[in-house]
Structure 1
């Protein structure tokens, strides 16, 4: 008997069904059967299900004729053997690690009748929006409850696919899905109301696809009249069971809200059916209003006695009460007029907001023009990073060095209130787009950013603009993107060059970066090949600092921490597919901690499985300083991110996951083949990645040799003093030749002593620069990779 029976009905979803089935079959939790029901679909759904049945966990079911979603689910229930039933529509998917999370929560809460987990709507354009009422799924005390204790649960969207149902509980209820549209309504309300125990899982386990076309509830049809029969079934259910009739007032209100939603939708009802639908709404109101009124005193008494929690009788808003009244009176034209007025009011509000925004922008631009007429403030420096995402990267390190070495210069940082906590004490915050922001841009003597300031910035004579960049370029940049239209979508190359023309200085970490920046941004800036200031901390930190950061991150003592930090795919609308973190965690084992950090363009990774035989998995995406994460980590796992160039300063192991290298290189373009010039082992498949760690290759002698060659090429100036060199040159005017007379002098690579990893015993002895220099290389200067088996595609 499996733990879970996942029932997947399929009708005209051939484009999505393989992904839906794989989202279940590739789960790390494998105690599951998948009952895939072909609802006599006219496309290839049946064949796709039969092909998936090569996996013995798949139970194919083919219905002799199309019966509808409810009947298809019932056919799956009849064949289910699992402890719990889960429903997954053929165009939706489970998130990675979802079944493990559900299994763990069920075990922690004593196998309740129903477990409610969260969902996120996924749109065709790549947008993902979590359930707007996700706050109701907070895992509060008591962990197991009834709807009487938390009646707000009846406000959730009544769908079947965001819950796990104990199969014997459903069998005792004798519950089945009815035919017709809105079949989830007479299933979801009864299961929640009748459940003797309900638990929640505050985690997105379901991606609920919002299709651009083909959504059943988005089609114009008389089938929407089925909603009346469905609510008849709900009221019949509560009326036939002692103690449930008390919920009629709330169900009556929820029904009215649902009916008005269908009425207000512009594309559900045929125009010639709207009057009839409204008459049916009025009849439904008159039928169930007396039942709700008779039950209301009983419900209020239960609330007063404490058997039902407050909130079970929510007061409708003023406009809701007006809608109910119009429905009761049968005033369809007035209802229609009110609905039209609401839409017009919404359009007017939107137009007003746009008008206000335009007027405000015009006034601010006028203010900016006036401020540009005032003298420059030579002792004011304005900093920003990552499109105003807080105090970070090279600008942050330079700002701190300015306060230390040039205290006469006042500094200000541009960022929003959500990142205000990242600013050091005493650093003035400028709100993006405010009057103070425009004043500072107009008058500051120094402008420092790791991306470009707004295109509305007019660089004044005497202003000094320092472009720090934010990584060593592996991928193609600037004008080189013209040959890669997938990555260059939306890039205005004329504006890009106008921005580069504003730069006085361009900061570079190494000769490779210098050659790239000067070619792809052809402008009259001066290159400062000084190293990256953000990496100063990697040489100035101590072993105590490493332990402190690990303690703050709550990394279990004695474990080896691996930081997983992938990069963005700007030719994709959705984040890149990550390795199965739960599988990797189990392969690493309990002696490891896996730190996951999503790119700042993406949401954090879904929670991975955690059990006694797996590594601890900690999401550190929200940590404000990636450099501190470098210090905490004993090793780095990345793909094509520039973090590898920074992390190499610590001389700790680096593993490159290059599973989609050919696609990335073809779509984005790169300046070197990282599979040949890598700072450590390269894995092309998930199996190879696991083998790299389980075999010890990740921290072996060959790994150290490749890393040493990589450091010698890409880390020549990162010695802990880069920020000071920048301040002395740009802010204090100490002009020296950009050779060995940099101030302060660059510490040779062989003489640098980065702080040791917390688990130094797990890491090999560092290979010296001299050894790396003597290591055999190929014609392009790459250390030849170790001999290994060829990479073959995975076969499921």
Structure 2
């Protein structure tokens, strides 16, 4: 029988679940069982739990047949528990290193108390960690264990289940369970503390309580916050059933009024128009359980008396004072009311146009370009427009109306279009209107640290405004993802309320529609000699270097390879110039379509560019240059260990790279096997119909009956111009993947 049963309920937290489970399984105290409860989560939580259970026998998966909520999921975990102590952990939080060891030592030192209360710290998206302000209540001075009467201040510590270890037989003896509702912790915490015959404290942060920007229960706007009234009725009903606990009624009454005041005054919890009803119910509840002689502050008194208008007036006056204080002494700012801004404001008051979609992309058409084509094919009633700055017209796909940013026409389109599609940002001046649908595609599969993970990578983050980045995220309705790795990464590093559509990468659709004639035409247009092996060299940006010159001599490589090879050199957009010149080198930096370059090439040479995913999707060889990979991992950070799971043959140096290409190892059986494994992980849905799935879901509203992804073994991408026998016998994984969406 294990010492601890750690119960983790999971529902729509796929981006955080792995980190939570890792924090438990990596504890220095191994005597535990991890009961992970899949609360019928519609995302990948169930699959993640099963993967952990297959790797570690301490993980016991529980899959519920229907969604029962946090309380019901915890009850299901309690029913399966075999440990001496129950430890609850929410699936977006983590245990700190050594936490269970410290808890076990304290339990032993205090004689196995019924309840051990330990501390926590709030962790914010910007990296701040703030310890519980009432940590003083958990001081370990004095006799232990004790009764709650000896330390009544514990009732003021955050009323949650996950900062306590409860003896399982104590819980079973009293029949404690979690009720349904938003605030299920309240009728658990108070009875557990009051009924415990022995309590101890641990003055140590054992849990990191993640402060999610959006998506958490307490951070949502809903009338479900009215659940608080029913939960406190349960608390007082428990006291009524146990007369020996009547002494706690004054403190419970005070805590109840404080809690109601917090919910009422916290911005963003109660929906507009519900505040009056909330205060009326608060007044009725307060009268029903009123304890004479208990005093409150002004805010709590107004909530208890239900004085809605008075409280609202005081809050408005306080806000006005803060605004005046902020602006006092500042020079009057010049008014900026240009005709275009006024035009945009006026256009924003007009009805949205359901037949208009606006597209934009940072570097080439990419995913937005593929979606624009799918709009015209599958939703022809929607007219499309494309934002392009002067000089970028050549990168605009044929078909949409071209608009120059900053013109009256562009502001009109942005103000009235029903659909907005971008792989970057429209900018803070564009305000997303109610009813507009914003589809964000991002750029490629995230292999390097991005989003909030760059907070700890200043060299890579450079001048990123993370606050503005997250305000942009708040506008998104949908985020596209090509695989589970991308889904879990985006949802964690770019937290928001958007829905992730794990349907594949639309930019790869063209790869599966191309023909041999297209390949021949593209190679001729680029100047690739007939019969030559075209090596597409596409490096990623190296954040640790001021100059982006390649780490090897392209001219020397071209000379050593000879006329059988030609290098298509595509610098990163941040490079600003060609990577090399001379015989055997073709500069393709100005080519707007990476997909066409993949089609024209026979093999991709890169260090860590996400273009390797698209090239592998074509089932064409990839050579990975790892010369600076260790530095990149230190400076930028990586999500995928490319040396452990490379997309093909690996070369550490310039000479080894030449040998790989000359000897033919770039297209041998081992390279094919590695590529097959890589495709299975990163290309499960890239079958040529990703954009169609997105349009059918977003524009046409179809949820069922979307095209099922073609299994990898059945896909027949166009072969390269220079065919090799090993390519025809590449082992392919089987089994049809299903497209998924989360949140």
Q: CA deviation at 1:416?
A: 1.6
Deviations 1:26-80 (A, max 9, x none): xxxxxxxxxxxxxxxxxxxxxxxxxxxxxxxxxxxxxxxxxxxxxxxxxxxxxxx
Cα gap change, 1:649/1:492 in structure 2, threshold over 3 Å: closer, same or farther? same
Helix, strand or coil: the match of 2:568?
A: strand
Structure 2 Cα separation of the partners of residues 521 and 405 of structure 1: 30
Contact 1:379–1:445 (CA<8 Å) still a contact in 2? Answer: yes
Q: CA deviation at 1:696?
A: 1.6
Contact 1:651–1:766 (CA<8 Å) still a contact in 2? Answer: no
Q: CA RMSD in A?
A: 2.0
Equivalent residue number for residue 410 of structure 2: 437
Deviations 1:645-681 (A, max 9, x none): 1111111110011111111111111101112211111
User: Is 1:372 the counterpart of 2:348 in the alignment?
Assistant: yes
TM-score if structure 1 supplies the norm length? 0.49
Match of 1:545 among 492, 515, 518: 518
Q: CA deviation at 1:606?
A: 4.7
Q: CA deviation at 1:571?
A: 4.7
Helix, strand or coil: the match of 2:444?
A: coil
How many residues in Structure 1 have an aligned counterpart in Structure 2? Answer: 403
Contact 2:361–2:424 (CA<8 Å) still a contact in 1? Answer: yes
Structure 2 Cα separation of the partners of residues 593 and 578 of structure 1: 18
Helix, strand or coil: the match of 1:765?
A: helix
Cα gap change, 1:706/1:733 in structure 2, threshold over 3 Å: closer, same or farther? same
Helix, strand or coil: the match of 2:585?
A: strand
Q: CA deviation at 1:767?
A: 2.1
- List alignment gaps of at least 5 residues for structure 2: 1-333, 737-743
Match of 1:599 among 537, 559, 572: 572
Structure 1 Cα separation of the partners of residues 577 and 735 of structure 2: 37
Equivalent residue number for residue 581 of structure 1: 554
Equivalent residue number for residue 429 of structure 2: 456
Match of 1:663 among 631, 639, 648: 631
Equivalent residue number for residue 732 of structure 1: 700
Structure 2 Cα separation of the partners of residues 405 and 771 of structure 1: 29
Deviations 1:197-216 (A, max 9, x none): xxxxxxxxxxxxxxxxxxxx
Equivalent residue number for residue 119 of structure 2: none
Contact 1:638–1:657 (CA<8 Å) still a contact in 2? Answer: yes
Structure 2 Cα separation of the partners of residues 361 and 751 of structure 1: 59
Match of 1:501 among 458, 467, 474: 474
- Give matches, 1:393-472, under 5 Å: 393-472=366-445
- Give matches, 1:686-701, under 5 Å: 686-701=654-669
Structure 1 Cα separation of the partners of residues 548 and 337 of structure 2: 33
Helix, strand or coil: the match of 2:591?
A: coil
Q: CA deviation at 1:425?
A: 4.3
Contact 2:369–2:507 (CA<8 Å) still a contact in 1? Answer: yes
Helix, strand or coil: the match of 1:402?
A: helix
Structure 1 Cα separation of the partners of residues 444 and 579 of structure 2: 27
Cα gap change, 1:492/1:649 in structure 2, threshold over 3 Å: closer, same or farther? same
Cα gap change, 1:482/1:576 in structure 2, threshold over 3 Å: closer, same or farther? farther
Equivalent residue number for residue 381 of structure 1: 357
Contact 1:377–1:443 (CA<8 Å) still a contact in 2? Answer: yes
Structure 2 Cα separation of the partners of residues 440 and 771 of structure 1: 45
Cα gap change, 1:770/1:440 in structure 2, threshold over 3 Å: closer, same or farther? closer
Structure 2 Cα separation of the partners of residues 522 and 628 of structure 1: 33
User: Is 1:652 the counterpart of 2:628 in the alignment?
Assistant: no
Contact 1:558–1:759 (CA<8 Å) still a contact in 2? Answer: yes
Contact 1:568–1:576 (CA<8 Å) still a contact in 2? Answer: no
Q: CA deviation at 1:772?
A: 12
Cα gap change, 1:361/1:412 in structure 2, threshold over 3 Å: closer, same or farther? farther
Deviations 1:314-340 (A, max 9, x none): xxxxxxxxxxxxxxxxxxxxxxxxxxx
Deviations 1:160-193 (A, max 9, x none): xxxxxxxxxxxxxxxxxxxxxxxxxxxxxxxxxx
- Give matches, 1:80-95, under 5 Å: none
Match of 1:710 among 653, 660, 678: 678
Helix, strand or coil: the match of 2:660?
A: helix
Equivalent residue number for residue 191 of structure 2: none
Structure 1 Cα separation of the partners of residues 694 and 534 of structure 2: 33
Contact 1:394–1:450 (CA<8 Å) still a contact in 2? Answer: yes
Contact 1:543–1:756 (CA<8 Å) still a contact in 2? Answer: yes
Helix, strand or coil: the match of 2:666?
A: helix
Match of 1:624 among 567, 584, 592: 592
User: Is 1:643 the counterpart of 2:625 in the alignment?
Assistant: no
Q: CA deviation at 1:771?
A: 8.8
Equivalent residue number for residue 681 of structure 1: 649
Contact 1:604–1:619 (CA<8 Å) still a contact in 2? Answer: no
Helix, strand or coil: the match of 1:460?
A: coil
Equivalent residue number for residue 90 of structure 1: none
Structure 1 Cα separation of the partners of residues 517 and 582 of structure 2: 31
Structure 2 Cα separation of the partners of residues 700 and 754 of structure 1: 19
Equivalent residue number for residue 115 of structure 1: none
Contact 2:360–2:388 (CA<8 Å) still a contact in 1? Answer: yes
Cα gap change, 1:772/1:440 in structure 2, threshold over 3 Å: closer, same or farther? closer
Q: CA deviation at 1:426?
A: 4.1
Structure 2 Cα separation of the partners of residues 772 and 577 of structure 1: 40
Q: CA deviation at 1:625?
A: 1.1
Structure 1 Cα separation of the partners of residues 398 and 723 of structure 2: 34
Structure 2 Cα separation of the partners of residues 418 and 636 of structure 1: 28
Match of 1:535 among 489, 508, 517: 508
Q: CA deviation at 1:367?
A: 2.1
Q: CA deviation at 1:689?
A: 1.2
Q: CA deviation at 1:458?
A: 1.0
Equivalent residue number for residue 744 of structure 1: 707
Q: CA deviation at 1:716?
A: 0.0
Q: CA deviation at 1:532?
A: 0.5
Cα gap change, 1:606/1:680 in structure 2, threshold over 3 Å: closer, same or farther? closer
Equivalent residue number for residue 563 of structure 1: 536
Deviations 1:550-601 (A, max 9, x none): 1111211111111001111245432143421111111211111111111122
Structure 1 Cα separation of the partners of residues 454 and 571 of structure 2: 24
Structure 2 Cα separation of the partners of residues 425 and 532 of structure 1: 20
Structure 2 Cα separation of the partners of residues 516 and 475 of structure 1: 10
Q: CA deviation at 1:746?
A: 0.9
Q: Which moved more, 1:626-635 or 1:598-607?
A: 598-607
Helix, strand or coil: the match of 1:462?
A: coil
Structure 1 Cα separation of the partners of residues 563 and 725 of structure 2: 15
Structure 2 Cα separation of the partners of residues 652 and 591 of structure 1: 18
User: Is 1:761 the counterpart of 2:719 in the alignment?
Assistant: no
TM-score if structure 2 supplies the norm length? 0.53
Cα gap change, 1:772/1:564 in structure 2, threshold over 3 Å: closer, same or farther? farther
Structure 2 Cα separation of the partners of residues 602 and 439 of structure 1: 35
Structure 1 Cα separation of the partners of residues 385 and 687 of structure 2: 27
Contact 2:522–2:596 (CA<8 Å) still a contact in 1? Answer: yes
Contact 2:570–2:579 (CA<8 Å) still a contact in 1? Answer: no
Structure 2 Cα separation of the partners of residues 361 and 698 of structure 1: 60
Helix, strand or coil: the match of 1:446?
A: strand
Equivalent residue number for residue 721 of structure 1: 689
Deviations 1:455-501 (A, max 9, x none): 22211110000001110000011111112121122111111111111
Structure 2 Cα separation of the partners of residues 405 and 711 of structure 1: 28
Helix, strand or coil: the match of 2:624?
A: strand
Helix, strand or coil: the match of 1:486?
A: helix
Q: CA deviation at 1:394?
A: 0.3
Structure 1 Cα separation of the partners of residues 726 and 674 of structure 2: 14
